[in-house]
Amino acid sequence: MKKLLITIDGPAGAGKTSVSRALAERLGYRYIDTGALYRGVAYEVKRQGIDPENDVDLAALCSRLQLVFKQKANELRLYSGSTDITDRIRTPEISMLASAVSAKSLVRDYLLDVQKDIGRQKAAVFEGRDMGTVVFPAADVKFFLDASSQTRAQRRYQEIKSNSNQSLKQVEKDMQRRDRDDSTRSLAPLKPADDAIIIDSTDLSIQEVVDSMLSYIARRKG
C-alpha cells in the first residue's frame, strides 16, 4: 500500500490533536505534533533564561538544541537531549512564548529541517500551522481543520483546566491574541493551502471528522 504524507493545519482548539492522533492510529501511521517542537524551543528559551528577541542568543540555542520525538507505550514523547519535557510544555506561559518564538525566522528555519527530516519516510500525519503551505507543499493529502472561536476556547479550556487556574474568559482572550499573532505574522502565517480540504469541526465529533478524512484519503489512494 502506498505510504502517504498527510498534513492537518488549523488554529488552536479546532480539534487537530485528537483528530490527528486518531487518524494516524486508524492508518497505522506516525503522528507528529509540530506545535510541540515550537513549545520545546520556548521551554528551553525560558529554562536557559534567553531573551527571545536576541537573535544571536536564539541562534546559538537552536544550534545546540536536540529536540527528538520518541514513541513510548503508544504515546509520542518529546525529549530535549535526554530529558522528557512532554509534560512541561503545556502551560499557558509556554503557549504564549511558543507563539512568540514561532514568529522568528531563525527558529522556523531550524525547525523546517527537523520536520522535513521526520517526514522523509512518509506514513505520517503532521499536525501544525504551516504543514501544507510551507513544510510539506507536496504532501499527498492536506486538511485544514477549523471551528468557531467559542467552540475552540471551550475545548481548550476543558483540556487545560485540571492543571491551570485560567478562567474560560482568559483562555478565550489568550486564544484570540494567539490566533491574531499566528495568522498576521509575515512568516508562514496560519492559512489553508490552496489545495487543502477545509473541514469545520464546530458541530462534528472527532469520529465524524476522522471518518470524513478517511473517505478523502481513500479516494486519494484509489
Residues in contact with ligand DC by CB under 6 A are 12, 34-35, 38-39, 98-99, 102, 128-130, 178, 182
Least distance in angstroms from the C-beta of 138 to ligand DC? 16
Residue number, 170 or 211, with CB nearest to ligand DC: 170
Residue number, 98 or 217, with CB nearest to ligand DC: 98
Residue number, 118 or 211, with CB nearest to ligand DC: 118
Q: What is the DSSP letter of 194?
A: T
Q: Which residue is nearest to ligand DC (CB)?
A: 35
**Assigned C-alpha cell, 197:** 480540504
Residue number, 98 or 139, with CB nearest to ligand DC: 98
Residue 208 CA to its chain's centroid (Å): 21
Least distance in angstroms from the C-beta of 73 to ligand DC? 21
Least distance in angstroms from the C-beta of 120 to ligand DC? 17
How many other C-beta atoms are found inside a 10 Å radius of the C-beta of residue 122? 15
Q: Rounded to whole angstroms, what are the CA distances from 184 to 40, 49, 189?
A: 23, 27, 6
Q: Rounded to whole angstroms, what are the CA distances from 145 to 16, 21, 111, 128, 210?
A: 7, 14, 22, 10, 11
Least distance in angstroms from the C-beta of 220 to ligand DC? 22
